[in-house]
Amino acid sequence: MEAVSHVARREPWNKGKIVGQKAPFKLKDIWALRIRLQMEGRVRELALFNLGVDSKLRGCDLVALRVRDVCHGDQMATRTIVMQHKTQRPVQFEITQPARDALQVWIKQEKLRQDDYLFPSRLHESPHLGTRQYARILGYWVDELGLDRADYGTHSIRRTKATLIYRRTKNLRAVQLLLGHSKLESTVRYLGIEVDDALEISEQTEI
């Protein structure tokens, strides 16, 4: 009798999940969540959310930021440059007043120093907030907004401001630079603008 070998099969990570491009947050969602976090005194989350929207960084780059990336001494930076982990290309972004205010309160509350990670982990095995922790926090935000978790992910934060800028200006090259993409085609695919533009035209067409 032949011996039957049993090979353990790992279940695919995306089994039972909807996989695809995640939706950006709408302007009303941004303000609704921002006000909720402010009123409930959730300082870390407010700083994380505001900076995530402003920076348009991937989750892995956002959670790995250090205080020195956004703050020079007691002065909050209005603009900064970060080296992207995935592409090893620098990307520049503006830090708006709401984000600066939230970050300043957070840094002061936690007594963070220049070399400290901006969002230290509360888990001993990680020096800073992990991407999975970030994804869980975002999941709670989506729930609080009454949205469907299947439609949103950490890339929703990255896409939010880039999508708003494109819709206002139609300047694809500017958005490419802001996202740090090497190819314009990548920006087109990332924003899904061909689909969005088609839907917008469809909505404006009366029959």
Position of tokens 């007594």? 111
Instruction: Report the distance separating Cα 38 and Cα 30, nearest Å.
Output: 12
pLDDT of residue 134: 94
The answer to whether residue 193 scores a pLDDT higher than 90 is no
Residue with tokens 């900076």: 51
CA 188/CA 176 separation, integer angstroms: 9
Where b means 16+ CB within 10 Å and e means fewer, 50-79 reads bbbbbbbbbbebbbbbbbebbbeeeebeee
Nearest to 196 by CA among 166, 154, 173, 175: 166
Kindly indicate the confidence band of residue 116, based on its pLDDT and cuts at 50, 70 and 90. Answer: very high
The residues, ordered by sequence, that sit 6+ positions from 62 with a Cβ below 8 Å of its Cβ are: 48, 51, 52, 55, 134, 157
The pLDDT of 100-123, averaged and rounded, is: 92
First-to-final CA distance of the chain? 72
Three-class secondary structure of residue 99 per DSSP:
helix
- Count of beta carbons in the 10 Å neighbourhood of residue 40: 11
28 C-beta neighbours (distance < 10 Å), count: 9
CA 137 – CA 152 distance, rounded (Å): 12
Task: Give the type of residue at 60.
Answer: C
pLDDT digits (tens, 9 = 90+) for 12-51: 434 444 445 788 899 999 999 999 999 999 999 999 999 9
What is the reported pTM? Answer: 0.77
Question: CB atoms < 10 A from the CB of 192, how many?
Answer: 16
Within 8 A by CB and 6+ apart from 70, the residues are 51, 76, 77, 80, 95, 103, 118
Kind of pairing between the strands at 79-83 and 75-76: unpaired
The CATH code belonging to domain 27-196 is: 1.10.443.10
> Residues of the chain with pLDDT > 90: what percent?
49
pLDDT band at 196 (very low <50, low <70, confident <90, very high): low
